[in-house]
Structure 1
Amino acid sequence: MMIEIKSLKKIYGGVTVVNVPQLSIAKGESVGLVGNNGAGKTTLFRMILDLIRPDTGEVLSNVEVVAGGENWKTYTASYLDEGFLIDYLTPEEYLYFIGGLHQQSKATVDEALVKLGDFFNDEILKKGKYIRDLSKGNQCKVGVASCMLQNPQLLMLDEPFANIDPSTQFRLKNMLKEANKTKGVTTIVSSHDLNHITDVCDRILLMEKGVIIKDIATNSSTLKELENYFGVGQAFEELVSVIDKIDEEENH
């Protein structure tokens, strides 16, 4: 098992933002995490990566407890947001730095970057820009590229499709599929885009208010099922809003 979660809870200000009693992700699975803003997706990611500690429970990666552990870091690559980058470096400097951490020579990194040429769309390298001066979408490309450089066994990406253009989205989907299907990389990806996530992932976890309310294998009806869930949820929220407004007017 690649990831094993047991009795995991995170509470902020008396509100439980993540409550996952049990979750197992096998080696080689491609898992999508979906849910509205505030569902707890990023908090769950951060606990899996030991960036924040749970109030109760634990996360195991390859049967090792993540909290305080070190071994899992050697095979795990992740990009959650631009805070993962070193913004005063150029993209090349940052990618050479990441490669160096994984005992890769400059020549090896250069070779990998040639393969990422289409993904970068000639907007990243040799532009003389610092990472902080890149658009959010191009920062995301650098973050994803740094993950791919590491040849991980576990790859975690939080909303990677959000700020990139359609061509890059298409290329990223192909990269993720190749990593999973060809190299056996376990991938965990969150996204608000239901089309992308059902296209890339064989298993979908639907989170609502910190709880995984659905855990489904992707099939031909999954996209429709998710669209119905989010459509009904939105309609319900709109209805509540209208009722609140009527109550307010009546009270006045």
Structure 2
Amino acid sequence: MFLELVNLKKLYDKNNGVKSLNLSVDKGEFITILGPSGCGKTTTLNMLGGFLKADDGQILLDGEDITKLPPEERPISTVFQSYALFPHMNVLQNVCYGLRFLCGMSKKEAIPVAKEYLKIVDLSDYENTRVGNLSGGQQQRVALARSMATNPKILLLDEPLSNLDASLRLKMRQELKTLQRKLGITMIFVTHDQEEALDISDRIAIMEKGELVQFDTPENIYKNPVNKFVREFLKLDELVWGEDGTLMKVIKKM
């Protein structure tokens, strides 16, 4: 198994945090961690990234125990909700940053790699633009390019679409999935948006009160929700699916 979370635990008190999480992810999967606020999804992501120390359990990546490694030593990149771009740098400099200071490349080595990833996210014409002059969708693409350029084994995404308006959010989530398929990178995506998760995930990990409730494909979750919480949280009675198993639309109940 490519990624395994084994009895992973992080409690802030007896009712808040992640209680004992077991999860296995295949290489190249697009996994979404989904649940209401306070369910433990962001805590899980932060333990994966090394930003939070687990109370107990293991994180095994490609056969290596990375549980105690600091963030900079993990082959994992994170795209944060705020994108965490450097406003005093232009687009190219932002993408070069990780290559130079995490991968140890010289400026001369980093520039062609950064340019290649800007090409992938269709921002080649914006290399010299300050990030503050970009739209929200463009800033998200810069953050993606910067994270992917370091060639991580896993890319973590912490609600990266939440700051976008509805129409741009829909467009960007499709672009994100297309990009993931093109590069074959393993992505773990955190969201509280049910439709978003059902639309782009290979599998969805649904969490409630710090525990994993169900982990399966969107189609199987739709057909066989394990309990009332899953059915009601995902609003499964309001969904319409196509014959190919893709989400067609959400029926808005009056």
Q: TM-score, normalised by structure 2?
A: 0.73
Q: Is the 8 A contact 1:5 1:59 kept in 2?
A: yes
Q: Is the 8 A contact 2:118 2:124 kept in 1?
A: no
State whether structure 2 residue 116 is matched by structure 1 residue 111: yes
**Equivalent residue for 2:180?**
179
Q: Mapping of 1:1-252 within 5 angstroms?
A: 1-69=1-69, 73=73, 75-82=75-82, 84-100=84-100, 101-102=102-103, 103=105, 104-117=109-122, 125-127=127-129, 129=130, 139-165=139-165, 166-167=167-168, 169-180=170-181, 182-219=182-219, 222=222, 228-230=231-233
Q: Is the 8 A contact 1:31 1:188 kept in 2?
A: yes
Deviations 1:169-208 (A, max 9, x none): 424423434423x433211111222222222111111111
Q: Is the 8 A contact 1:66 1:72 kept in 2?
A: no
- Segment of structure 1 superposing worse, 53-62 or 135-144: 135-144
Q: Is the 8 A contact 1:18 1:44 kept in 2?
A: yes
Deviations 1:4-50 (A, max 9, x none): 11221111144341123421112122211111111111110001111
Q: Secondary structure at the match of 1:47?
A: helix
Higher helix fraction (1 or 2): 1
**Equivalent residue for 1:246?**
none
Q: Secondary structure at the match of 1:219?
A: helix
Q: TM-score, normalised by structure 1?
A: 0.74
Partner amino acid, structure 2, of 1:170: K
How many residues align? The count is: 226
Q: Is the 8 A contact 2:31 2:205 kept in 1?
A: yes
Partner amino acid, structure 2, of 1:140: Q
- Segment of structure 1 superposing worse, 107-116 or 67-76: 67-76
**Equivalent residue for 2:238?**
none
Following TM superposition, by how much is the alpha carbon of 1:141 offset from its aligned partner in structure 2, in angstroms? 3.5
Deviations 1:34-76 (A, max 9, x none): 1111111111000111111111212122222223337995642
Distance 1:147 1:223, change over 3 A: farther
Partner amino acid, structure 2, of 1:115: I
Query: Which has the higher Rg, Structure 1 or Structure 2?
Result: 1
**% of aligned pairs identical?**
26
Q: Which runs of 5+ in 1 are unaligned?
A: 233-252
Q: Secondary structure at the match of 1:89?
A: coil
Q: Is the 8 A contact 1:62 1:72 kept in 2?
A: no
Q: Secondary structure at the match of 2:8?
A: strand
Q: Secondary structure at the match of 1:196?
A: helix
Following TM superposition, by how much is the alpha carbon of 1:139 offset from its aligned partner in structure 2, in angstroms? 4.3
Partner amino acid, structure 1, of 2:175: N
Deviations 1:112-154 (A, max 9, x none): 313323xx597x6544x455x8676654333222123234331
What is the rounded CA distance, in whole Å, between the counterparts of 2:32 and 2:178 in structure 1? 12
What is the rounded CA distance, in whole Å, between the counterparts of 2:72 and 2:93 in structure 1? 25
Q: Which runs of 5+ in 2 are unaligned?
A: 236-254
Distance 1:195 1:224, change over 3 A: farther
What is the rounded CA distance, in whole Å, between the counterparts of 2:22 and 2:79 in structure 1? 24
What is the rounded CA distance, in whole Å, between the counterparts of 1:224 and 1:22 in structure 2? 20
Distance 1:59 1:199, change over 3 A: same
Q: Is the 8 A contact 1:49 1:66 kept in 2?
A: no
What is the rounded CA distance, in whole Å, between the counterparts of 2:143 and 2:46 in structure 1? 16
